Every structure is written in structure tokens, then in C-alpha cells.
């Protein structure tokens, strides 16, 4: 990579930033162990230089990677260290970002009220700072938290606010919010509406080459078609989700496997084996047909 080639001749500040940037690229691509290595290198440089801001950024980035790797307790430790530093520095944006990240950790740990509190704090700061991207991020997180608490109307309200902002400034985020809205409608029993949102989410994820977004949306579509007893279509989406999420070493890969296993248990081995043999070579065609059945624009 160009960044890697340039780093040896840069000063330590620029080198630290370049390593952090490389880490983010690797994290977005799903190469989390490489991202972890880069963030540790950036942390070491910042510590050697006494750069508190750089240390806080590195702690936050490491928390992000450990969250993605499913290591919530380790992520929490890094985020809490980052939060102390950003507050000491008066870095409001860093504080709000870390609060959002901590909220996600608490949500994954099942402490949803605590997560909601962190998201609300982050939202308030981002609004004070006029940071619309951060505001949408917090609103999206609040929507997911409310959904998990069974507060579906509140969830849709937060997600719609996030969607309104993201439509203007964040195409990738727009797709992810569509997926989250689809999930709310799914748990509310509105399958057709959920399908429409998932289709839009998938189209955007493919457009912006958001691989994890594609995999997660296909996983959701597979689970929804399973509930609709459309087993061939469900299996096709779940297989494609499995392949994508495995390729990027996503922690959500296991969820796609669980979806396939649920389908197997639902229809039994006698039906599953021939279905699998039939679907695997035709998965792309089956999913394309399903996606073309109905398209509703919002």
C-alpha cells in the first residue's frame, strides 16, 4: 500500500496517523488481526511521544477491533481508558464517539438500559457540536437499543431521524439504517415491509461495497424467508451470507451458520440434504429472483 511505503520517511506524528488509518482500512475490510496489530503500533508510538490525543484514539480504535472480534470485556477496558483521556483533554467529539462505542459493548453484554444511557449522552454531545454524522450514528444506536427493549415505535422514530440525516451525508450508513428498520418491522410481524427495507439495504450495501453490510442483510433475509417457510430462498440467502461473512472473518459468520442449522432442524435431514445440493449451485440466481419479486421505493 502507498501509506505503508511512505511511513518510514515520515515524522512520528504522521506515521502514527498513517498506521491508525491503515488499521481502519483493515478493520473495514474485515482483517481484524492486522488492524489490531496496527492500532497497537500506533498506541506504542503515541505513548513514546507522550501524545495523549493519539493514545486516546488508539485506545478507542483497539476497543472497536475487540468489539468486532466479540471480546467485549477487553473492548470495554480500552474504551473506558479512551473516555478518561478525551474528557481530560476536553475533546467532545472523541468523548461522544467513545460513549457510543461503550454503549455498543453494554448492549452486547445485555445491559441495554446502560447502553441506552450512553447513546443518549453521545447524542446530546454530537448535537451540541453540530456533528450530524455523529448525531445519526447515535440515533441509529438508540433505535437498535429500543428495538431490543421491545420499544418498537420509539425504535422506528429514532431510526427514521437517523435515516433522514444519513440520506444527505452517509450512503453506507443509510443502508445500515434501512436494515435496522427492516429488523424492527420483522419483529413487529410486518414481513412485507421488512422485506422492502432489507432489499433497499442490500442494494446500497452492494453499491458502496459494504461487504459486512451485504452479509448481514442476506442473513436477515434468509431468516425472514425461513419464517415465511420459503426454504429454498432462505437457504440461498443464508449460504451467500455465510460465504461473504466467512471471507471477511466477521463475527456475524456464526449467525449465518446458526441460521442454516435452524433451517436443517426445521425441515429435517431427509429434506435438507437434497435441498442443499439443489440450492448451492443456484444460490445467486435464486436470491436475484427473490429480490426482483417486489420493489417499493421510500
pLDDT at 297 over 50: no
Q: Can you tell me which residue has the cell 488492524?
A: 35
CA 172 to chain centre: 11
What is the rounded average pLDDT of the residues 293-298? 53
Q: Which residues lie below 8 Å from residue 35, measured CB to CB, with a gap of 6+?
A: 23, 24, 26, 27, 61, 65
Mean pLDDT of the chain: 88
Give the pLDDT of residue 40: 82
CA angle 135, 138, 142 (to 5 degrees): 135
What is the rounded average pLDDT of the residues 267-285? 97
d(C-alpha 35, C-alpha 28), whole Å: 9
pLDDT at 296 over 60: no
DSSP string, 196-237: HHHHHHHHHHHHTT-HHHHHHHHHHHHHHHHHTT-HHHHHHH
pLDDT, one tens digit per residue, over 171-185 is 999 999 999 999 999
**Residue 27 DSSP class:** H
Contact 223, 204 (CB under 8 A): no
pLDDT at 52 over 70: yes
Which percentage of the chain shows pLDDT scores above 70?
A: 87
What is the rounded average pLDDT of the residues 208-215? 96
- Residue 6: band (very low, low, confident or very high) from pLDDT cuts 50, 70, 90: very low
**In the chain, what is the straight-line distance between the N-terminal and C-terminal CA atoms, in Å?**
40
- Residue 292: band (very low, low, confident or very high) from pLDDT cuts 50, 70, 90: very high
> How is residue 150 written as a grid cell?
421491545
d(C-alpha 102, C-alpha 116), whole Å: 10
Give the pLDDT of residue 46: 87
- Residue 282: band (very low, low, confident or very high) from pLDDT cuts 50, 70, 90: very high
State the CB neighbour count (10 A cutoff) for residue 294: 10
Give the pLDDT of residue 294: 64
Give the pLDDT of residue 37: 76
Contact 256, 215 (CB under 8 A): yes
> What does the CA dihedral 200, 243, 32, 168 come to, rounded to 10 degrees?
-10
Global confidence as pTM: 0.85
Amino acid at each position: 500500500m502507498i501509506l505503508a511505503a511512505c511511513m518510514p520517511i515520515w515524522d512520528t506524528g504522521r506515521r502514527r496517523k498513517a498506521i491508525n488509518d491503515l488499521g481502519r482500512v483493515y478493520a473495514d475490510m474485515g482483517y481484524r488481526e492486522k488492524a489490531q496489530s496496527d492500532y497497537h503500533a500506533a498506541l506504542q508510538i503515541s505513548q513514546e511521544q507522550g501524545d495523549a490525543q493519539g493514545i486516546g484514539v488508539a485506545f478507542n480504535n483497539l476497543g472497536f477491533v475487540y468489539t468486532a472480534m466479540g471480546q467485549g470485556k477487553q473492548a470495554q477496558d480500552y474504551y473506558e481508558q479512551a473516555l478518561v483521556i478525551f474528557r481530560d483533554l476536553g475533546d467532545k467529539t472523541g468523548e461522544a464517539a467513545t460513549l457510543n462505542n461503550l454503549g455498543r459493548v453494554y448492549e452486547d453484554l445485555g445491559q441495554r438500559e446502560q447502553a441506552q444511557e450512553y447513546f443518549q449522552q453521545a447524542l446530546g454531545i454530537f448535537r451540541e457540536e453540530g456533528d450530524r454524522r455523529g448525531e445519526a450514528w447515535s440515533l441509529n444506536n438508540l433505535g437498535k437499543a429500543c428495538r431490543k427493549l421491545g420499544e418498537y415505535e420509539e425504535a422506528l422514530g429514532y431510526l427514521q431521524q437517523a435515516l433522514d440525516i444519513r440520506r444527505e451525508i452517509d450512503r453506507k450508513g443509510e443502508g445500515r439504517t434501512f436494515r435496522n428498520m427492516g429488523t424492527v418491522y420483522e419483529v413487529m410481524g410486518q414481513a412485507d415491509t421488512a422485506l422492502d427495507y432489507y432489499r433497499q439495504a442490500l442494494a446500497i450495501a452492494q453499491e458502496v461495497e459494504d461487504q459486512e453490510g451485504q452479509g448481514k442483510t442476506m442473513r436477515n433475509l434468509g431468516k425472514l424467508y425461513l419464517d415465511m417457510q420459503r426454504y429454498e430462498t432462505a437457504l440461498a440467502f443464508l449460504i451467500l451470507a455465510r460465504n461473504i461473512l466467512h471471507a471477511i472473518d466477521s463475527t456475524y459468520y456464526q449467525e449465518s451458520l446458526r441460521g442454516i442449522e435452524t433451517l436443517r432442524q426445521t425441515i429435517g435431514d431427509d429434506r435438507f440434504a437434497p435441498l442443499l445440493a439443489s440450492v448451492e449451485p443456484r444460490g445467486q440466481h435464486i436470491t436475484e429472483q427473490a429480490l426482483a419479486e417486489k420493489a417499493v421505493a421510500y
